[in-house]
Structure 1
Amino acid sequence: METPEEKALRLKDSGNEALKICKYSEAADLYTQALELHETSVLFSNRAMAYIKMEQYGQAILDADCAIKIDPQYVKAYYRRGSANFALGKNKAAKKDFKKVCQMKPKDKDARAKLAACTKAVNEAAFAIPTMSEFDFAYGDEYGDDYSDDYGSEYDDPYDRSDVDS
């Protein structure tokens, strides 16, 4: 008779095979069945990978969080959470995860490259200062005088209806 842990291991192996042949939804389902029998950081992390491949990044982050909660030293969970965060444009969170991966595996070239990409994205966002506020961009000088000097004093406001005949 197969124990729940043994059945979970068998389902994990089947999920790994499905992942290898790009059957990501099937892999996620197999990992889910395995998790119902025995929750491990590896199973959560593997399902996170399947979700990443299906571009379900929010689900991937949740699973990576579960994997990290079970085993805070499981480096793949940080890598996968970082990948999902980066895909969602959450560059600061991704940078934090890849920094952790680099601390745990200093020779991991891929993690260092991802950390560099996150750092670049965070820095670019910090220096992207808009030249006008969103309000000014949306409404121009319609509600303010900031740009009205460009038109001179003879400029007629297209929204001024005071001279319209009734």
Structure 2
Amino acid sequence: MYTAYKLAHKEFEKENYKEAIKLYQDSISDMKDMEDTEYIKLPLYNIGVCYMKLKRFGKALKYLTEATKIDPKYSKAFFNKGFCHIQLNHNKKALVAMNTAWALDNNDKDCEAIINILLKNLKK
């Protein structure tokens, strides 16, 4: 059942992001029959990260948003949503996503630093 997911992860490690995306999508299809949608958030998140690596931030946001719909407490997904919004110059949306990530994991010092930078930029 997890074969496609494992293969996708190997392709990701080799930086073959387009192939990894296809395999992560296959793994979602494999998991569709599962009652626990929690498992689906991981390939969705990983597809989002692949698109980030390919600098396709709008596409990445789509998958990261889907992951946060499945798990509204997925701080890493919110952090990466914030990063994508920064890359797209959506600073207010970035601040919302980063604040959500930090609220979920207030030990994340990177998130805190980015929030402070965003706040300074928005005050200008």
**TM-score (structure 2 length as normaliser):** 0.85
Sequence identity percentage: 24
Who is 2:4 aligned against? 11
Shift, 1:37, TM fit: 2.2
Tell me the residue number matched to 1:105.
105
Single out whichever of 84-93 and 13-22 deviates more from structure 2: 13-22
Q: Aligned equivalents of 2:17 and 2:116: distance in 1? A: 28
Q: Work out whether 1:29 is the aligned partner of 2:22.
A: yes
- Structure 1 runs not aligned, ≥5 long: 1-5, 125-166
Cα distance 1:116–1:16, how it changes in 2: closer, same or farther (>3 A)?
farther
Count of aligned positions: 117
Q: Compare the two structures and name the one with the higher helix fraction.
A: 2
Whole-angstrom distance in 1 between the partners of 2:117 and 2:11: 30
Task: Flag the structure with larger Rg.
Answer: 1
1:56 deviates by: 0.8
Offset from partner CA, 1:10-55 (integer Å, 9 cap, x none):
2222222222222111111111111222251111111000000001
Identify unmatched segments of 5+ residues in structure 2: 33-39
1:101 to 1:10, Cα distance in 2 relative to 1, 3 A: same
Match of 1:62 in 2: 62
SS at match of 1:19: helix
Q: How does 1:7-156 map to 2 (within 5 A)?
A: 9-38=2-31, 40-124=40-124
- With a CA cutoff of 8 Å and minimum separation of 6, indicate the structure with the bigger relative contact order: 2
Paired residue secondary structure (1:118): helix
Displacement over 3 Å in runs of 4+: none
CA RMSD of aligned residues (A): 1.4
Q: Spell out, residue by residue over 1:123-163, the C-alpha distance to the aligned partner (whole angstroms, 9 max, x if none).
A: 22xxxxxxxxxxxxxxxxxxxxxxxxxxxxxxxxxxxxxxx
Which range is displaced more, 84-93 or 114-123?
114-123
Q: Does structure 2 retain, via aligned residues, the 8 Å contact 1:41–1:74? A: no
TM-score where L is the length of structure 1: 0.65
